[in-house]
Amino acid sequence: MEVRIQAVALASREDALFCGPSAAVLLGLPVPYRLQDGPVWVMVPEGMPRPRRRDVRARQADVVAAEISVAHGLRVTSPARTFVDLAPLLSLPDLVAVGDAAMRGWRVTPEELLEVIRRRVRYHGKVKARHAAPLLDPRAESPQESRLRMVIIGGGLPAPAVNLEVYDEWGGFIARCDLGYEDWKVAVEYDGAVHAMRARRFADATRRTLLREHGWYVVEVVADDLRFPHRAVAKVHGALRARGAVS
């Protein structure tokens, strides 16, 4: 999409800016491939002519100065405004993944997000954006970890801690879990493509062995489990039930 965005930029109005999925791509925020491969999204001020091209989705809207950023030398909606604009287009897990990345990479605050949400009056995704804002956590280190956290919560299970650090009885560091429940000694680990590398597999196995030796129940979730979320929920539910946390 970035090449197409650059091409559109050459023909766009000076008062236009990139928004929605296109802004997310330029800002480095994770959006599903279906949106990355779609049209280029452009915003112009209310009442101004919209660009008319087959590969452009143009909209009219007003933004305040705080909602405008620059990425790769191009005017884009700010990370906070982009998060809010994406709410109608994304599932809650995908929206949280965007919000976590915005907080982690751009230091966006919950207060900033809520201020943008408040300013939007007629807005189809307002309820979802308001619901997602307090669920965000900048400690999440990947979009899939963010999505897994939302799948767990959406499955009716307790919210796990993010990047939970585990220590032994003498205060020695054991490991850091992607997600975890300290009270019940349950660790939830996501295995993505990067984990298939030999060195990473060895490090993962060593860390998880240490956790199990110290009485932790380690749940391993893979990409297929997120494609079929009930699988991920079932794995975590089984671990929590074994520890007496849920029935």
pLDDT in tens, 62-92: 899 999 999 988 999 999 999 999 999 999 9
CB of 245 closer than 8 Å to CB of 158: yes
Q: Residue 5: is its pLDDT beyond 60? A: yes
CB of 83 closer than 8 Å to CB of 102: yes
CA distances from 75 to 9, 184, 186 (A): 9, 48, 45
Would you state the torsion angle of the CA atoms of residues 47, 48, 51, 57, taken in this order, to the nearest 10 degrees?
-40
Q: Residue 97: is its pLDDT beyond 70? A: yes
Cβ-count burial of 110 within 10 angstroms (0-12 exposed, 13-18 middle, 19+ buried)?
middle
Higher pLDDT, 40 or 201: 40
pLDDT grade for 3, boundaries at 50, 70 and 90: low
Tokens describing residue 244: 């007496």
Reported as a single tens digit per residue, the pLDDT across 10-20 is 556 778 899 99
CB of 94 closer than 8 Å to CB of 32: yes
CA distances from 65 to 13, 19, 62, 196, 221 (A): 17, 14, 10, 44, 42
The predicted structure's pLDDT at residue 170: 95
- Report the percentage of the chain scoring pLDDT > 70: 92
The predicted structure's pLDDT at residue 7: 59
Reported as a single tens digit per residue, the pLDDT across 21-59 is 999 999 999 999 999 888 999 998 888 877 777 788 888
CB of 221 closer than 8 Å to CB of 148: yes
CA distance 171 to 35: 46
Query: What are φ and ψ of residue 23, in 5° steps?
Result: -65, -40
Tokens describing residue 221: 């979730």
Residues 6 or more apart in contact with residue 199 via CB below 8 angstroms: none
Query: What are φ and ψ of residue 229, in 5° steps?
Result: -55, -30
CB of 179 closer than 8 Å to CB of 216: no
Tokens describing residue 134: 């307090």
The predicted structure's pLDDT at residue 2: 67
Reported as a single tens digit per residue, the pLDDT across 122-168 is 788 999 999 999 999 999 999 999 999 999 999 999 999 999 999 99
Residues of the chain with CATH 3.40.960.10: 143-242
Closest by CA to 174, choosing from 187, 184, 161, 159, is 187
Q: Residue 96: is its pLDDT beyond 70? A: yes
For residue 5, give the 3-state DSSP assignment: helix
CA distance 128 to 126: 6
pLDDT grade for 1, boundaries at 50, 70 and 90: low
Residues 6 or more apart in contact with residue 156 via CB below 8 angstroms: 233
CB of 233 closer than 8 Å to CB of 151: yes
pLDDT grade for 213, boundaries at 50, 70 and 90: very high
The predicted structure's pLDDT at residue 195: 47
Query: What is the dotted CATH code of the domain comprising 143-242?
Result: 3.40.960.10
Neighbours of 43 (CB within 10 A): 28
Please compute the mean of the pLDDT values over residues 221-235 and round it to a whole number: 95
CB of 145 closer than 8 Å to CB of 153: no
